[in-house]
Amino acid sequence: MGNLVEIKKLSKNYFNKKALDNLDLNIEEGKVLGILGPNGSGKTTLIKILTGLLRQSKGEVLIDGHNVGVYTKSIVSYLPDRNFLYNWMTIEDAFKFYIDFYSDFDLKRGEELLDFMKLGKDMKITSLSKGMTEKLNLTLVLSRKAKLYILDEPIAGVDPVARDQILDAIIKNYDSNSSMIITTHLVRDMENLFDDVAFLKDGGIILKGNAEKLREEKGKSIDEIYKEIFSK
């Protein structure tokens, strides 16, 4: 299987601060990659470059063989780390918004997921709890038939029941024709979802590999490896 995403010598500076430093990373087709690191390690900067919200200072990013731009945006479905819907909307409006914006939006899948999340179309965005908002955002993002899903901290700050529903929805909607990038620092809750993991520290990858191989080689869970790396 080929690489859907190729990142070569990627750097991003904010004035004097290096947010990403010479980072190399590939994502294979059909794989789920976990990008793991504490706050401030560069996860969100990396994601913003992949989604075209920021431009890199140096280096190359190819998604499905293309530089980040109109084409890559059409095949990438992105869950930001905060709510992206307007307060005046109902869930119905949010669906219409997505249908208008994205030709790959699958309404049937969306309605099934909404049902699974126990959300109703007449609910108002302002009336939703944090967990419900997260579930709605994820529903919209997963309902696109994208080649690459990028989920930035999908379970941060939600209660355990919502967390399980979110994990379930991710698993149910995973298919081998697309890839997924999930960033998190909640490694224990999410590690069983990953095919591959990359540990991000101070803007660089300090360890990456197949999750099962790392468990085997180190005799440790990914969570333990994470703690070992970042508690130093």
Partner 1 sequence: MDFNDKLPIYIQIMNYLKRKITSGEISECDKLPSVREFSSKLKVNPNTVQRAYQELEREDLVFTKRGMGTFVTEDDDVIMKLKKDTAKEVISNFIGEIKGLNFDDDEIIEIILNEIKKED
Rounded CA separation 102/229 (Å) = 40
Beta carbon nearer to partner 1, 18 or 220: 220
Burial of 63 per CB tally in 10 Å (0-12, 13-18, 19+)? buried
Q: What is the nearest approach in angstroms of partner 1 to the Cβ of residue 84?
A: 26
In the window 183-202, what residues touch partner 1 (CB under 8 A)?
192-195
Handedness of CA 53, 58, 63, 69 (dihedral sign): positive
| 212 near partner 1, rule: CB under 8 A | yes
The residue from 172, 202, 209, 228 that contacts partner 1 (CB under 8 A) is 172
Beta carbon nearer to partner 1, 98 or 194: 194
Q: Between the CA of residue 225 and those of 140, 176, 220, 222, what are the distances in Å?
A: 33, 27, 7, 5
In the window 26-65, what residues touch partner 1 (CB under 8 A)?
30-32
| 221 near partner 1, rule: CB under 8 A | yes
Beta carbon nearer to partner 1, 30 or 59: 30
Rounded CA separation 216/61 (Å) = 31
Q: Candidates 56-64, 79-87, 125-133, 162-170: pick the segment binding partner 1 (CB under 8 A).
A: 162-170
What amino acid occupies position 56?
Q
In this structure, are residues 150 and 160 in contact, taking their beta carbons and an 8 Å threshold? no
Beta carbon nearer to partner 1, 104 or 212: 212
* DSSP strands (E only) in the chain: 3-14, 17-28, 32-36, 58-63, 66-67, 76-79, 148-152, 179-184, 196-201, 204-210
In this structure, are residues 41 and 199 in contact, taking their beta carbons and an 8 Å threshold? no
| 93 near partner 1, rule: CB under 8 A | no
Q: Candidates 5-13, 103-111, 136-144, 163-171: pick the segment binding partner 1 (CB under 8 A).
A: 163-171
Q: Under the rule (CB under 8 A), what is the footprint of partner 1?
A: 30-32, 164, 167-168, 171-172, 174, 176, 192-195, 211-213, 215-216, 219-221, 223-224
